[in-house]
Amino acid sequence: MAGNSGPLSPRAKLAVTAGKAAAAVSRAAGRGSGSVIGGKVALKLDPDLLARLATHLDVVLVSATNGKTTTTRLIAEALRASGPVVSNALGANMPAGITSALAGGSDARYGVIEVDEKYLAGVARDVSPKAIALLNLSRDQLDRAAETRMLAEKWREGLAGTKAVIIANADDPLIVWAASSSQNVVWVAAGQEWKDDAWSCPSCGGVMQRPGDDWFCGECGFRRPTPSWALSGDYVLDPHGSAWPIHLQLPGRANKANATTSAAVAATFGVPPQVALERMYQVQAVAGRFDVVSFLGREVRLLLAKNPAGWLETFSLIDGPPAPVILGVNARGADGTDTSWLWDVDYPRLAGHPIFVIGDRKLDLAVRLEVAGLEFRVCETVDEAVQAAPPGRIELIANYTAFQDVRRRVGN
Interface segment toward other proteins; rule CB under 8 A; list 135-143, 158-166, 248-256, 386-394: 135-143
Number of residues that bind other proteins (CB under 8 A): 31
217 is in an annotated binding site: yes
User: Does 319 participate in catalysis according to the annotation?
Assistant: no
Residue 320 as a binder of other proteins (CB under 8 A): the answer is no
Note whether 205 binds other proteins by CB under 8 A.
Answer: yes
Buried b (16+ CB within 10 A) or exposed e, 222-255: bbbeebbbbbeeeebbbeeeeebebebebbbbbb
Q: 3-state class of 341 per DSSP?
A: helix
Nearer to other proteins, 124 or 201 (CB): 201
Q: Among 233, 282, 322, 343, which residue interacts with other proteins (rule: CB under 8 A)?
A: 343
Q: Residues 338, 344, 346, 364: which is the catalytic one?
A: 338
Residue 214 interacts with other proteins (CB under 8 A): yes or no: no
DSSP state of 334: G
Cβ distance to other proteins smaller for residue 292 or 363: 363
Near other proteins by CB under 8 A: residue from 24, 160, 207, 388: 207
Contact 34, 22 (CB under 8 A): yes
Residue 166 phi/psi, 5-degree rounding, is: -100, 125
C-beta atoms surrounding 3 within 10 Å: 15
Taking CB under 8 A as the rule, does residue 373 contact other proteins?
A: yes
363 close to 369: Cβ distance less than 8 angstroms = no
* 375 touching other proteins, by CB under 8 A: no
Say whether residue 338 binds other proteins (CB under 8 A): yes
Closest CA relative to residue 43, chosen from 1, 5, 12: 12
**Is 379 annotated for ligand binding?**
no
> Is residue 21 within 8 Å of residue 70, measured between CB atoms?
no
Amino acid symbol at 260: T
Q: Summarize the annotated binding site for Zn(2+) as residue ranges.
A: 201, 204, 217, 220
Note the residues at the interface with other proteins (CB under 8 A).
Answer: 139, 142-144, 147-150, 196, 199-200, 205, 207, 218, 337-344, 363-364, 366-368, 370-373
Query: Which residues are identified as catalytic?
Result: 338
